[in-house]
Structure 1
Amino acid sequence: MNLKGVRTGIAAACAVVSLGAASSAAAQGQCSRDTLDDIAAKYVEGQKQGSIFTLPVGEWVDYRENGQLVSTATGVISQPSDFDWHLALVDTGTCHVLVHGVILKPVPYVVTTQLAWTFNGLGQIRSTVVREGDANFDAKKTYAYASKEDWSEIPAGKRDTRQALLALANAYLDRAGGGAADVALAPSCDRIDNGAYSTNCEPAPGAAFVDREFTVDEAKGAVAVVSNRGEAEGPQDSRIFRIEDGKIRHVHAVTPSQ
């Protein structure tokens, strides 16, 4: 999705430092895992401090929550909050970072944030946020279930390919959108929808998932998808999949009611 950038209220000196860091990374000719892991850590620290200043943003950054343009001075990122549990995924192929986590206090949230890294720094930050009032929302239950799951790196010889991970994630979304695609589910698959827990991962048909943007972390057997429901301007939705031995093991859905 091509989105128009908006200037953040970041001081010029900070922008120069950020651009310098981004240019240095670009000069290496790659989006290394170490670089992207560092960005994920800086995002977690930024949420803890309630400040975007910890992030290597460019001069212009597009920051959105649930598809809507939001000021970095008023959005969730501005509210000092520790993640009680979080998962960080990095995609060295697309230079995407995705952090999915649970905040319990001072205000409970479940947040999934996709950050797009470029040679100019972070130019796009998209958060999907659910909170009190959203269907099935329960941050405490999400924390209780998610913190028991295994999202560690899979041994190199047992990892699925990027193509296989993408194909399975797309098949799941196609089926959930009303299609007839076959989806390989692990016998012990479980799902968390905003806090509601189920051992039935079979996707229930509903509105289509359009404008899909992926973060694929082969090392963790994980795929995260940020999309819109029904149409390009429809409600934003995030899904995170853990895939083991060619089958979906965990599904997390972050689905705002509006």
Structure 2
Amino acid sequence: MMKLVATIASLLTLSQATSNREGLLASAQTYVTAQKTGNTSTLKLSPSFRYQQNNKERALSAGLLATPYALDLVRSTADTVACASYTMWISTSGGKPYVVGTQIRHENNTETISLIDTIAATTGDLFFDAKKTLGYIQKEDWTPINNTASIPSRELLRKVGDAYLDMWTDPKAADSIPWGTECERVEGSRYTSPCGKSLPRGGSSKPNGMRRYVIDEVQGSVDVLCQFDSLGTMPDSYEIRVIDGKVKYVHTITALNVG
């Protein structure tokens, strides 16, 4: 009987942790609208809502969302298991240019936002040049994977994301990643193709920590927000796309300044 109760509880937990993809993307769009207008009043925030920018908690009024930005590129992915989304946006005009990665988390539904978690890079950050980054990423193909046989598993995407972050501490991690022959890597504004060359193979004793994941099997993508502890304590976002079992795109957003 106790085993049956435990099984039912497990199933209920799994059910509650599954969200609607369209709803998650719609909620991500409300975040985009708030960023364009600098007005957060229409966001559906939970009573326990938190805002985090460059790995530090702060008030919404003290973050990027308090200022309107013209956005040159916006793209969102959805994680229906974690009830979360990831949005990348780039702004090259107006005041400060930005390249931003934001994870949004929900309280077991597709409307109430419990956390907006942002990594924001601007002038002076690692390899930063928003116009160059925009030029590279605009050329990418992010068409959803329609062939179900080609959709990578959640486990594979998580493994690839972790292996990428482990390259600085594990000499075998780089070679465990299934690099595509035409893979493109954009680190800040630094472009490398194919991805599998010029990679770190250990050397640091400090693993990259504070890992937070958004995994979208339909897009074949994983985004990991983290703290880059291997070479310091830099706020970081790593987004990787896998097509036909091979890594196609890698994006990194690294903030040297945590403000």
Match of 2:44 in 1: 56
What are the within-5 Å matches in structure 2 for residues 215-254 of structure 1? 215-230=214-229, 234-254=233-253
* Distance change (3 Å), C-alpha of 1:219 and 1:119: closer
* Distance change (3 Å), C-alpha of 1:81 and 1:163: same
For the 8 Å contact 1:154–1:221, the answer to whether it is kept is: yes
Match of 1:210 in 2: 209
Q: Determine the C-alpha separation between the residues in 2 that align with 1:94 and 1:215.
A: 7
1:78 paired with 2:66, answer yes
SS at the partner of 1:219?
A: coil
Q: Determine the C-alpha separation between the residues in 1 that align with 2:180 and 2:108.
A: 39
Q: Determine the C-alpha separation between the residues in 1 that align with 2:227 and 2:78.
A: 21
Match of 1:24 in 2: none
Residue 54 of structure 1, CA deviation: 2.6
Match of 1:35 in 2: 23
Match of 1:131 among 122, 132, 136: 122
What are the within-5 Å matches in structure 2 for residues 1-258 of structure 1? 30-106=18-94, 107-119=96-108, 121-155=112-146, 156-181=148-173, 182-202=176-196, 203-205=199-201, 208-230=207-229, 234-258=233-257
Corresponding pairs, count = 231
Q: Determine the C-alpha separation between the residues in 2 that align with 1:54 and 1:204.
A: 44
1:203-255 residue CA offsets vs partner (Å, 9 max, x unmatched): 32465321211100000011000111228x93221100010111111000001
**Identity among equivalent pairs (%):** 29
Q: Determine the C-alpha separation between the residues in 1 that align with 2:82 and 2:234.
A: 24
Residue 147 of structure 1, CA deviation: 0.6
For the 8 Å contact 1:45–1:54, the answer to whether it is kept is: no
* Distance change (3 Å), C-alpha of 1:116 and 1:178: same
Q: Which consecutive unaligned segments of at least 5 residues does structure 1 have? A: 1-26
* Distance change (3 Å), C-alpha of 1:218 and 1:29: closer
Q: CA RMSD in A?
A: 2.1
Q: Determine the C-alpha separation between the residues in 2 that align with 1:58 and 1:153.
A: 30
SS at the partner of 2:125?
A: coil
Q: Determine the C-alpha separation between the residues in 1 that align with 2:153 and 2:17.
A: 23
One-letter code aligned to 1:204: P
SS at the partner of 1:257?
A: coil
Residue 55 of structure 1, CA deviation: 1.7
Q: Which consecutive unaligned segments of at least 5 residues does structure 2 have? A: 1-14
TM-score, normalization by structure 2: 0.83
TM-score, normalization by structure 1: 0.83
For the 8 Å contact 1:85–1:102, the answer to whether it is kept is: yes
For the 8 Å contact 2:178–2:247, the answer to whether it is kept is: yes
